[in-house]
Amino acid sequence: MLSNVDYMGDKKLSFGVEPTMREVPPGQSATFNVGKVEEWTVVETEWGMKYSFPITLLSHPSYDSISKSGMNMKWQSKSQSAEGLFFWMYNDINDDDEYIMKVFDVDMSKELNSKMVLHRHDSGQYLLEITG
């Protein structure tokens, strides 16, 4: 059974799914860059609704070796940090149950291309910082 087929512009064919970032252990942090805003979405998982972002993972305490170019994967979370990031770029749902991207008066490319650091406090809560 195919779970995902991706036809890319350079004629590559891939099967399977992109890996999902592991949970950040309490008291530690992970660093990543987010991918295309058009690919941000909300997904239903066996643990409920989660916000999903394509990312390039740059550092994470649960991964032994990450190349200098990073690892492409998804960050899926129902944390307030993920919700805040998602609704920073998207408005509520329209009549067709689609999220509408916000229109900003300034170019947001600098913020979106910035490194993001996801801290997990000892209490288990997350804090997402955009480092610029």
Is 8 inside a domain boundary? Answer: no
Is 49 inside a domain boundary? Answer: yes
Q: How many domains does the chain have?
A: 1
* DSSP class of 20: B
Is 14 inside a domain boundary? Answer: no
Residue 106: pLDDT band by 50, 70, 90 thresholds? low
Residue 1: pLDDT band by 50, 70, 90 thresholds? very low
Is 123 inside a domain boundary? Answer: yes
**pLDDT > 90? residue 109:** no
Task: State pLDDT tens for residues 2-61.
Answer: 445 555 555 667 787 779 999 999 999 999 999 888 889 999 999 999 999 999 999 999
Q: C-alpha dihedral over 21, 68, 3, 92, to 10 degrees?
A: 60
Residue range of the domain that includes 106: 20-130
What's the pLDDT score for residue 2?
A: 46
Is 12 inside a domain boundary? Answer: no
CA distance 63 to 87: 29
